[in-house]
Amino acid sequence: MRHTRIIVTHYGGPDELRVVAEECPEPKDGEVRVKVLAAGVAYPDLLMREGVHPEKPPLPFTPGWDLIGVVDRLGKGVSGIEPGQIIAALPISGAYAEFVCLPQRELVPVPSGLDAAEAVSLVLNYITAYQMMHRSAQVRPGQRVLIHGAAGGVGSALLQLGRIAGLEMYGTCSSQRASAVSDLGGIPIDYRHLDFVKEIHRLTSEGVDVVFDGIGGPHMWRSRKALRPGGKVVVYGLTASLSGGRLASGRRHRFHGIAIYGLYIAGGWLLPGRKRLVPYSIQWLKRLRPALFRQDLIALFDLLQQKKIKPLIAQRFPLAEARRAHELLGKEGVAGKIVLLCNGSSLASGPA
C-alpha cells in the first residue's frame, strides 16, 4: 500500500516542501502505525524548514510536530491499544504524512467525537499555553498578563485558558485581529501603531505580572520592561528569526539564536529589578517529565469535551497543499491554528 508524505530536501522557503508517494511504513517492535487524520502547522515547522530550529532532523525530513490519528497496525510487543483507536502524538517531526510509525509510549488516547482539527490544536499550542501558564508562570486569579501574538495559535490558547484562570489579559496583535483578541477576553494592543511597553504602563501603571513572549531575540528585553517588579517573562520561541515566514538574517546556524536567547535570559537574572526571563520548551519538559505531558493533554481534552475551550481554526488544507499552508502562516495576522487534513477526514470519531 502506498501513501503520501511531505518532505524537505533542502532548507529554504515553502517551495522546498515536496509531495512524494511511497510505500507505507511498517511498524517496528514496540511501534504503532498511525493513519493521520490531522497534522498541525506551526512556526517551529517553518524554523525547521529554514534549517534554524535546534530540533531539526537531518535532511531529507518530513515536518510536523503534532497529529491526531487512528491506530492502523500494531508492531510486535504492542498491547493495550487496538486498531481503530483515536490517538494524539507530538512526534516533533514526521506528522505531514498519511501514515507514520510511532513508539506506543508516545500515543495519548483521544475521546471520541472530537473534531480532529480542534483536537490537534491542543497537542502543541494548548499544551504550550497550559504549561507556561500553570507550570512556568504559576499564575493566580487576578494577575495581569501580556500575551504577544495574542490572535495566533498559542496566543489564542493563552487567552482562553487565562479567562478560565481568572486573569486580566492584554494582547499584542494587528488592528485586523483586535476583535478576535477582545472576543477571547483580552484587551488588544496594536503593536504596529503603539509602543506596547508604554501602553502597558499607561493601562496598568506598574506593569504586568507575566509576559508570554514567543518572539525571542531583543524583543524579550522589551517584554521585560513591561513587567512590574518581581514579574516574569516566559520565553518560548524564536519567531524573530523569521520575516514573512522566511529566515530574516540569512544565517542558518541552528544555535546562533539559542546563544543570544541564553544571554538575554542570564541577563534577566543578573540585573536588578527582580524581573526574570524564564525559558519554556515543550519538547524538553516532555522529555524530562513525560507523565506531565500526558496528564496535561488529557486535562485539555476534557476541557474541549466540556466546551470550556474552543480552538480557533484559521484554515484547513489538504495534506498535499502543505506549501500553501506554510505560505499563509508566514504572512502576519493569521488567527488561530492552520491544520493539514489527511486521508479525506476532518473528524476524529471512534473508541477512546
* Residue, of 266 and 117, whose pLDDT is higher: 117
Number of Cβ within 10 Å of residue 281's Cβ equals: 16
In this predicted structure, what is the pLDDT of residue 240? Answer: 62
Q: Is the Cβ–Cβ distance between 145 and 311 less than 8 Å? A: no
**pLDDT score of 102 more than 50:** yes
pLDDT digits over 5-33, tens only? 999 999 999 999 999 999 999 999 999 99
**pLDDT score of 86 more than 60:** yes
In this predicted structure, what is the pLDDT of residue 347? Answer: 47
Q: Model confidence at 331, in pLDDT bands (50, 70, 90)?
A: confident
Q: Is the Cβ–Cβ distance between 157 and 126 less than 8 Å? A: yes
CA distance 154 to 124: 8
Question: How many Cα atoms occupy the beta-carbon half-sphere of 308 within 13 Å?
Answer: 12
- Tell me the CATH number of domain 2-120+285-341, given options 3.90.1150.10, 3.90.180.10, 1.10.10.10, 3.40.50.620: 3.90.180.10
Beta bridge partners of 168: 144
* Residue, of 332 and 319, whose pLDDT is higher: 319
Residues with Cβ within 8 Å of residue 245, at least 6 apart in sequence: 13, 14, 46, 326, 327, 329, 330, 331
CA distance 181 to 175: 10
Grid coordinates representing 5?
A: 508524505
Q: Which of 175, 202, 179 is nearest to 190 (CA)?
A: 175
**pLDDT score of 224 more than 90:** yes
**Whole-structure pTM value:** 0.91
Question: Environment class of residue 7 by beta-carbon count within 10 Å: exposed (0-12), middle (13-18) or buried (19+)?
Answer: middle
CA distance 284 to 74: 28
In this predicted structure, what is the pLDDT of residue 208? Answer: 98
Grid coordinates representing 131?
A: 504549561
In this predicted structure, what is the pLDDT of residue 106? Answer: 97
In this predicted structure, what is the pLDDT of residue 270? Answer: 58
In this predicted structure, what is the pLDDT of residue 350? Answer: 39
123-281 shares the fold of 2-120+285-341: no
* Length of the chain measured in residues: 352
Beta bridge partners of 51: none
Q: Is the Cβ–Cβ distance between 162 and 147 less than 8 Å? A: yes
Could you give the percent of the chain with pLDDT greater than 70?
88
Q: Model confidence at 216, in pLDDT bands (50, 70, 90)?
A: confident
Question: How many Cα atoms occupy the beta-carbon half-sphere of 288 within 13 Å?
Answer: 6
Q: Is the Cβ–Cβ distance between 125 and 335 less than 8 Å? A: no
Highest-scoring range by mean pLDDT, 120-124, 221-225, 266-270: 120-124
pLDDT digits over 175-206, tens only? 999 999 999 999 999 999 999 999 999 999 89
**pLDDT score of 338 more than 60:** yes
In this predicted structure, what is the pLDDT of residue 258? Answer: 56
In this predicted structure, what is the pLDDT of residue 147? Answer: 98
Q: Which of 292, 278, 167 is nearest to 212 (CA)?
A: 278
Is the preceding omega at residue 60 within 30 degrees of 0, hence cis?
Answer: yes
Look-up: residue for cell 472576543? 183
Q: Does the 123-281 domain belong in CATH 1.20.1250.20? A: no
CA distance 137 to 133: 5
In this predicted structure, what is the pLDDT of residue 275? Answer: 87
* Residue, of 150 and 268, whose pLDDT is higher: 150
Mean per-residue pLDDT, 206-229: 92
Mean per-residue pLDDT, 116-130: 98
Q: DSSP label at 126?
A: I
Domain layout of the chain by residue ranges: 2-120+285-341, 123-281
**pLDDT score of 174 more than 50:** yes
Grid coordinates representing 190?
A: 496594536
pLDDT digits over 228-278, tens only? 999 999 999 777 666 676 676 655 555 555 555 566 666 556 565 678 899
In this predicted structure, what is the pLDDT of residue 264? Answer: 60
Q: Which of 199, 205, 273, 174 is nearest to 233 (CA)?
A: 273
